[in-house]
Amino acid sequence: MSNLEVRKFDWDFEGIPFIWNPEQPRFSTLMNQITFVIISFERYISKAMRQAESRITNEEVKREARLFGQQEGVHASAHMKHARALIARYPGLQTILDECNESYDAQLENESLEYHLAYAASMEAIFTPFFKMILDHREILFADGDERLSSMLLWHFCEEIEHRSSALIVYDEVVGSYWYRFRNAKPMRKHVRALFDMSIERFKEHVPDVPHEAYEGNPFASVPRPATLRSAFGIFASQMPLHDPTHQPLPAYYDEWIGRWRGGEDVRKFYGQPAMHAAKPQEA
């Protein structure tokens, strides 16, 4: 079992600009996309974990499901504060939240618990190699960014590393079939991709006052190519039979972050540049 802790922080993103890292406009936009999509995604996962509890007989697995769902709920709440700050400046962005919520609510209603747990296990397995690349190259991606969002994202991604095995543990206990996950992997990826495609189109519609490069190109163009290739291979491998996230290479930064948190450091504003503020609210 994982050793999960539910950590709650008082995040404040009031006035944060859309491009919160001027040196990384495309990466800034990608992280904004993650904020809007992840709120609905993680609430969906939390609900699936609560549904699964009645099907779990192993008490350790039941505890894993409960703590995993609680962590995901805390992450959704943190990203909601970021989303609300952006919506205050660009009210039209509310449509992204609405569409994501509608999509995940429909999936929760129309698909089985087995599907929800497979969705969680498949998506969460991808996160370890993806977030490892980001954490390993945090200086490139976050050092010039607003310290509030940089610090929140680093916390979130470290906790994703922490609970990297949780979704699969629950899936194996309740469902246990790799081939069921494999058969449904394509529609699951299609669902996530559609929400990210939708979010970028809504950004273009409602956030016109940003550089062109914020919407075009590779968000990881500044990351060394060998690292992006390793991440891509890790994502591919994460969907294979017998893959166990527990034994995957982990970012050294995870232990550093845990040490700073346990040492009492204020991890809400410990990475990046002093808080940046957008000029004034603007109607979409």
Judged against a pLDDT cut of 80, whether residue 284 lies above it is answered with no
Q: Provide the sign of the torsion angle of the four alpha carbons 147, 277, 101, 217, taken in this order.
A: negative
Report how far residue 167's alpha carbon sits from residue 270's, in angstroms, rounded to the nearest whole number: 30
Contact at 8 Å (CB) between 276 and 17? yes
Residue 215's φ and ψ, nearest 5 degrees, are -115, 0
Tokens of 201: 């189109």
Which pLDDT does position 241 carry in this prediction? 85
Tell me which of 222 and 282 has the higher pLDDT. 222
Coil vs helix vs strand at 219: coil
Which pLDDT does position 62 carry in this prediction? 96
Which pLDDT does position 1 carry in this prediction? 63
Residues 6 or more apart from 177 whose CB is under 8 A from it?
none
Mean pLDDT of 212-231: 96
Report how far residue 218's alpha carbon sits from residue 244's, in angstroms, rounded to the nearest whole number: 29
pTM: predicted TM-score of the whole model, two decimal places: 0.94
Judged against a pLDDT cut of 50, whether residue 283 lies above it is answered with no
Report how far residue 243's alpha carbon sits from residue 240's, in angstroms, rounded to the nearest whole number: 6
Domain ranges of the chain: 25-262
pLDDT more than 90, % of the chain:
90
Mean pLDDT of 182-192: 94
Give the H/E segment covering residue 189: helix 178-206
Contact at 8 Å (CB) between 48 and 116? yes
Confidence of residue 282 (pLDDT cuts 50, 70, 90): very low
DSSP state, residue 22: T
Report how far residue 2's alpha carbon sits from residue 163's, in angstroms, rounded to the nearest whole number: 7
| Residues 31-80: tens digit of each pLDDT | 999 999 999 999 999 999 999 999 999 999 999 999 999 999 999 999 99
Contact at 8 Å (CB) between 157 and 134? yes
Residue 146's φ and ψ, nearest 5 degrees, are -55, 125
